[in-house]
Structure 1
Amino acid sequence: MLIRLKPFGRFRAPLGEEMDVDLPAGSSVSDLLVRLSSLSSDLHAQIYDAGGEVREDVHVMVNGRHFLSLGGTSTPLEEGDEVALFPAVVGG
């Protein structure tokens, strides 16, 4: 199944502006993040903390809804879903 990924901020340089990611049917947000983090050790460090959890400053939106409000990394993905990946924006 194809998922449309839209990376922002620090994720844009390694991933580009938009890309289709082909995942097996029944995949979850976790499966997508594992696939992305396998592309480089730098990208892995940008997504996961030292304990292997998704970093607190990483936000994943599935069809416009934050993944933590859906089911966290267990949130199921479906053909045609749009996933935005971006770092927290801080500052004043």
Structure 2
Amino acid sequence: MTQQDLADCMDVSVSYISKVENGRLHSGDYPSEKFIHKLASELKANEDELLLLADKVPESIRKRIQQRPALFRKLAAMDKQSLDAVESSIDTAN
């Protein structure tokens, strides 16, 4: 898919698609969540990954954080080795 094809599908300019792709947006130009949802659908990409790349927290993650803020503060404070151990234990449990 070319930038022109994507711009046509998204109803935006080719220059906007180029800026998004190359990370050359100004603060007021950042894509909305609605744009990212549509972009993920058009590109058959992982919506949560695109949202996170745009510094937007996916709704499902936001809800979990709101349910357990103390737990997420603890996770955020962990070093890489500790987080790796937690991830490994989760992977083993599943």
TM-score bracket, normalised by the shorter chain, equals: under 0.3
TM-score by length of 2: 0.23
More helix by percentage:
2
- Asked which structure has the greater CA Rg, the reply is 2
Which one scores higher on RCO, CA 8 angstroms, separation ≥ 6? 1
More strand by percentage:
1
TM-score by length of 1: 0.23
